Structure 1
Amino acid sequence: MKLLRYGNPGEERPGLLDAGGTVRDLSGHVADIDGAALSPEVLDRLRALDPETLPAVAEPGRLGPCVNRVGKFVCIGLNYSDHAEETGATVPSEPVAFMKATSAICGPNDPVIKPRGSTKLDWEVELAFVVGSPVSYADEETARAAIAGYFVCHDVSERAFQMERQGQWMKGKGCDSFGPIGPWLVTADEVGDPGQLAMWLEVNGKRYQDGSTQTMVYKPAFLLSYMSQFMSFQPGDIITTGTPAGVGLGQNPPVFLDVGDVVELGIEKLGTQRQTVVPAT
């Protein structure tokens, strides 16, 4: 299934994208696409529905973040071998983890806001997943079963804030609009192997990232199992898993985003995003 949320910010309704590309309203069956809707039992109930019986949404308009009420937004860094190489880093012996603020989450086509004082605004196309069952000290098989679905995440980053302003990476990772997710949440059964997905990103029509999850070092089930040794995970928590080569920082010379730039990105089976960079007000 492809689950989504549509409508103005704060007024989104739950929906489903049918096989013909029509948005179908799910508000008669779930209150929202959030942790409560992502348990195996609820997902099985939604799968049993005939999409043709659901109200068609002729003009869904804006797509919101594909998951609402996210409790934790965990990120994994340097998790693609080609990206580690382009940044001059070695692949870590254990996953590198950091957090984005949940206030960074926005819709897949909402503007990216360039923060005040930003000089090195960068892009990263990433595969993300959402937890559907409680997880704590899980082995890899248990973790795999707890993944409800996958989606595209744009891990927008401000490199000067991240690397030159002291302290943890979160300064350059958690700004408002730095976490577009969607357009859809694709359930794990429909995605199949998450380690075999093509992924790409373009800025103003020029392709900078053209990679695959095949170069991911630590795969999603392992990451959830590993991270569950340090914190419990609840339904609706998300983890984004790193980016392949081609970020702005890795260009020679480096290239960064500015107001008016248009970023388009996507992952095989998971859809595409499109954002325009706007100034902070």
Structure 2
Amino acid sequence: MRYISFEKSGKTLLGVRDSGGGIRTLGEFTLEALLADGVDLQQFAAQHTGGAIEAEEGVKLLPPLRRPTKILCVGLNFKDHSAESNFAQPDYPTMFLRLHTSLVAHQQPIVRPRISDSLDYEGEIAVVLGKGGRHIAKRDALSHVAGYALFNDASVREYQFKTPQWTIGKNFDGTGAFGPELVTADELPPGAKGLLLETRLNGKVVQSANTDDMVFDVETLISVLSEAVTLEAGDVIVAGTPSGIGWARNPKLLMRHGDVCEVSVAGLGVLRNPIVDEAAA
């Protein structure tokens, strides 16, 4: 099941993709509310019928979840990326937080801030939790996953490295691309393992890796995080990027106005975003 969040005619709506690529509307619901209520997403889609939208004219796509309870991001989760970033590979997940105010949807612009020319791409998978808890055993962790989406953890490197904490460089408005849809966990291999993850900038592949190459797999991340944090339905875990980032290249390859960045994973589709300069004040 592929859930899509969108606006049409002034209403915030939830729908599912049909086999032909159109949208079957479910009503004025949000994934945040459904997950918080413990709703089975497959049953919900089967029980709610609405109009069909065959052409997306007048549809404004939204991130699958607009206000996730938490956005927990994992750094240095691919060994080659740790090496290119001149970090020793950590033996514990490197965590930082994103804010919902940084999120943008599929086809919506990622915004290059006017105060810095260091906007970089990071293609990743996002894990959306359907239920939470503390001290979740690794063997049970995947039962807590509602589904997966794509994420571009676009980073303002100049600000990321102004301090030892990366948070500010990861939270500029309009830099966290999330979508295009929430794909329920049954549509993918357990833990989204064995899938090709690629990032393309202006059509050229700049990152390519297999999700099997993650140092900490999805179930490990859920289990380890839950040792410290009460996880909740609607939490999003952004699981890390592979090597190939623009900041590590010589010369650096940074995103600029007019560029188009795409992140793809088999089964999750393509997350596509143009890059635009922030408007002058």
Query: What TM-score does the superposition give when structure 1 sets the normalisation length?
Result: 0.92
Query: Which has the larger strand fraction?
Result: 2
How far is the alpha carbon of 1:184 from its aligned partner? 0.9
Tell me how far apart the structure 2 counterparts of residues 225 and 35 of structure 1 sit (CA, whole Å): 24
Give the partner amino acid of 1:182.
G
Secondary structure class of the residue paired with 1:141: helix
Tell whether 2:275 aligns with 1:277. Answer: yes
How many residues align structurally? 276
Q: Percent identity?
A: 32
Report if aligned partners of 1:82, 1:215 keep a CA contact under 8 Å in 2.
no
Cα-to-partner distance string for 1:158-195 (whole Å, 9 max, x where unaligned): 111001x2241011001111211111101111112312
Report if aligned partners of 1:108, 1:274 keep a CA contact under 8 Å in 2.
yes
Tell me how far apart the structure 2 counterparts of residues 73 and 152 of structure 1 sit (CA, whole Å): 13
Report if aligned partners of 2:66, 2:103 keep a CA contact under 8 Å in 1.
no
Tell me how far apart the structure 2 counterparts of residues 160 and 136 of structure 1 sit (CA, whole Å): 36
Report if aligned partners of 1:195, 1:216 keep a CA contact under 8 Å in 2.
no
Equivalent residue, structure 1, for 2:85: 87
Secondary structure class of the residue paired with 1:24: strand
Tell me how far apart the structure 2 counterparts of residues 9 and 213 of structure 1 sit (CA, whole Å): 39
The correspondence for 2:30, drawn from 32, 38, 57, is 32
Equivalent residue, structure 1, for 2:53: 57
Secondary structure class of the residue paired with 2:52: coil
Equivalent residue, structure 1, for 2:122: 124
How far is the alpha carbon of 1:111 from its aligned partner? 0.4
The correspondence for 1:160, drawn from 158, 161, 169, is 158
Give the partner amino acid of 1:138.
I
Equivalent residue, structure 2, for 1:184: 181
How far is the alpha carbon of 1:117 from its aligned partner? 1.4
Tell me how far apart the structure 1 counterparts of residues 33 and 260 of structure 2 sit (CA, whole Å): 32
Give the partner amino acid of 1:63.
L
How far is the alpha carbon of 1:252 from its aligned partner? 2.1
The verdict on how the C-alpha distance between 1:167 and 1:35 changes in structure 2, with shifts beyond 3 A counting, is: farther
Tell me how far apart the structure 2 counterparts of residues 92 and 187 of structure 1 sit (CA, whole Å): 30
How far is the alpha carbon of 1:58 from its aligned partner? 2.5
Report if aligned partners of 1:130, 1:239 keep a CA contact under 8 Å in 2.
yes
The verdict on how the C-alpha distance between 1:280 and 1:9 changes in structure 2, with shifts beyond 3 A counting, is: farther
The verdict on how the C-alpha distance between 1:9 and 1:247 changes in structure 2, with shifts beyond 3 A counting, is: farther
Report if aligned partners of 2:70, 2:236 keep a CA contact under 8 Å in 1.
yes
Equivalent residue, structure 2, for 1:139: 137
Give the partner amino acid of 1:57.
I
Tell me how far apart the structure 1 counterparts of residues 9 and 97 of structure 2 sit (CA, whole Å): 23
The verdict on how the C-alpha distance between 1:144 and 1:35 changes in structure 2, with shifts beyond 3 A counting, is: farther
Give the partner amino acid of 2:55.
E
Tell whether 2:238 aligns with 1:253. Answer: no
Gaps of 5+ in 1: none
Tell me how far apart the structure 1 counterparts of residues 88 and 15 of structure 2 sit (CA, whole Å): 42
Deviates more, 1:198-207 or 1:72-81: 198-207
How far is the alpha carbon of 1:265 from its aligned partner? 1.8
Gaps of 5+ in 2: none
Give the partner amino acid of 1:275.
N
Cα-to-partner distance string for 1:84-104 (whole Å, 9 max, x where unaligned): 122222221110000011111
Report if aligned partners of 1:152, 1:266 keep a CA contact under 8 Å in 2.
yes
Report if aligned partners of 1:95, 1:223 keep a CA contact under 8 Å in 2.
yes
Give the partner amino acid of 1:188.
A
How far is the alpha carbon of 1:9 from its aligned partner? 11
The verdict on how the C-alpha distance between 1:245 and 1:8 changes in structure 2, with shifts beyond 3 A counting, is: farther
Tell me how far apart the structure 1 counterparts of residues 230 and 43 of structure 2 sit (CA, whole Å): 26
Report if aligned partners of 1:35, 1:69 keep a CA contact under 8 Å in 2.
no
Tell me how far apart the structure 2 counterparts of residues 162 and 10 of structure 1 sit (CA, whole Å): 36
Tell me how far apart the structure 1 counterparts of residues 165 and 8 of structure 2 sit (CA, whole Å): 33
Cα-to-partner distance string for 1:129-170 (whole Å, 9 max, x where unaligned): 11111221211123211110000001000111001x224101
Report if aligned partners of 2:22, 2:55 keep a CA contact under 8 Å in 1.
no
Tell me how far apart the structure 1 counterparts of residues 45 and 9 of structure 2 sit (CA, whole Å): 27
Runs ≥4 in structure 1, deviation > 6 angstroms?
none
Query: What TM-score does the superposition give when structure 2 sets the normalisation length?
Result: 0.92
